[in-house]
Amino acid sequence: MNRDQDIQLEKDRARYGLLAVVVSNLAIASVAVFGVWRLNGNESVIIGVLTAAFTAVSSMTTAYLGIKAVSNTAKSMAAASASATPPTQTPTTPAQRTP
């Protein structure tokens, strides 16, 4: 793969990863709203549903951002070490002399 394909692949991964997190968060929020609507004012249960939904949304978002940050850091460290390391040369054996 060349560099342009790697960059495009990373953009696609970031885009679809973020899309998955946003869709999941919307699904969690919609289920929480539906649950609160169906509970008809039972406050203690509503608080439990909203707390669980907030925990799920924040956990999912934090996990995505944490994984993305570690991935970006590892990639930049690998690129920096690859550019700083000089290419290795294979040792050559000297030609043998005949007496």
> Is residue 49 situated within a structural domain?
yes
Residue 19 pLDDT = 93
> Is residue 85 situated within a structural domain?
no
> Count of CB atoms within 10 A of residue 35's CB?
16
Quote the number of domains for the chain.
Answer: 1
Q: What would the pLDDT profile of 37-66 be if each residue is shown by its tens digit?
A: 888 878 888 899 999 999 999 999 999 999
Nearest of 62, 40, 60 to residue 52 by alpha carbon: 60
Global pTM value: 0.68
d(CA 47, CA 16): 32
Full DSSP string of 25-37: HHHHHHHHHHHHH
Residue 1 pLDDT = 58
> Is residue 87 situated within a structural domain?
no
d(CA 37, CA 66): 33
Residues spanned by the domain of 29: 3-80
pLDDT band at residue 73, thresholds of 50, 70 and 90?
A: confident
Is residue 28 within 8 Å of 53, Cβ to Cβ?
yes
Residue 45 pLDDT = 86
